[in-house]
Amino acid sequence: MARIFITGSADGLGLLAAKKLVGEGHKVVVHGRNDMRANDALKSVPGAETTVSGELSLMSETIKLAEKVNKLGGFDAVIHNAGIGSSERNRIETAEGLSQLFAVNTLAPYILTCLLLRPKRLIYLSSGLHRSGDASLNDLNWEKRTWNGYRAYSDTKLHDVLLAFAVARKWKDVLSNAMEPGWVPTKMGGPGAPDSLEEGVATQVWLAVSVEKSALVSGQYFYHKRIYKTHPEAASTQIQDTLLLECEKLSGIRFPGV
């Protein structure tokens, strides 16, 4: 039996993963962006251990969330599931001066990775659109570029892959992988999405708890439980380290060493 924390588990893939893991007998802590959403998550996952709340678009709230989670003790796996989509027609700026999309999809997983008690496994949800992401890492916060929601989203999903691969390289005692669920019919994907919702959920659950040899790897990118193609620059250690440094500059939080 494993203990898993899942961000963004009040609906969508996170909620379905939580239900599946609890159904398999694992301990699960769910999360919502505020107390109401966190309580919704707990009610929606009978058998979940508990719930925590925290607004991931704000660094200050994400830091508090890490403190709440650490008070619960260690976890075998953390699934960085929370994310927002590419539908923003204009750049939305948070109270801390960041692009909301970047803050939730990139900076929050970075901060939580740095501050949470180190689990045995880390899973970062990406997207096939990461292959269209900008590996230059210029203007991460979209302060100079003309806003393009599709491109901004693709960038953040590339960041998630870079983060997963950097963690795998630097923390040899942790299995750190990224995955794409496919274009699935969630609130973000829309009702007409053609991919399998069940398989999208199955991959993150499998990476979190499976003892199969193919799941006990690190620094890989998965689609439907199979290693899949990534952005050609995703394996660049220089680009990975640049992302960590930029996230450190913005958050004030240094990535922990070995």
**Average pLDDT, integer, range 218-241:** 97
**Average pLDDT, integer, range 241-249:** 98
Phi-psi domain of 235 (left: phi exceeds 0; alpha: psi -120 through 50; beta: other)? alpha
**Average pLDDT, integer, range 119-123:** 98
**100 in Cβ contact with 84 (< 8 Å):** yes
Q: What is the pLDDT of residue 86?
A: 77
40-56: pLDDT as tens digits = 999 999 999 999 999 99
**Average pLDDT, integer, range 103-128:** 98
Q: Which residues of 149-177 are buried (b: 16+ CB within 10 A; e: fewer)?
A: bebbbbbbbbbbbbbbbbbbebbeebbbb
Cα–Cα dist 59/62, whole Å: 5
Contacts of 70 (CB under 8 A, 6+ apart): 115, 116, 117
What is the DSSP annotation of 102-147?
Answer: HIIIIIHHHHHHHHSPP-SEEEEE--GGGGGS-TT-TTTT-SSSPP
* Among the listed residues 79, 195, 186, the one whose alpha carbon sits nearest the alpha carbon of residue 128: 195
* Among the listed residues 82, 166, 161, 167, the one whose alpha carbon sits nearest the alpha carbon of residue 128: 161
Which of residues 159 and 183 earns the better pLDDT score?
Answer: 159
199-225: pLDDT as tens digits = 779 999 999 999 999 999 999 999 999
Is the predicted pLDDT of residue 256 greater than 90, yes or no? yes
Q: What is the pTM of this model?
A: 0.95
**Average pLDDT, integer, range 4-23:** 96
> Which residue of the set 153, 172, 221, 249 is catalytic?
153
Rounded to 5 degrees, what are φ and ψ at 34? -145, 175
Q: What is the pLDDT of residue 87?
A: 75
172 catalytic residue (yes or no): no
- Say whether domain 3-251 belongs to CATH 3.40.50.720: yes
> Which residue of the set 19, 110, 124, 157 is catalytic?
157
157 catalytic residue (yes or no): yes
Is the predicted pLDDT of residue 240 greater than 60, yes or no? yes
Q: Classify 61 as helix, strand or coil.
A: helix
H helix or E strand, kind and range, residue 175 = strand 175-180
| Residues facing 253 on adjacent strands | none
Is the predicted pLDDT of residue 196 greater than 90, yes or no? no
Cα–Cα dist 224/151, whole Å: 24
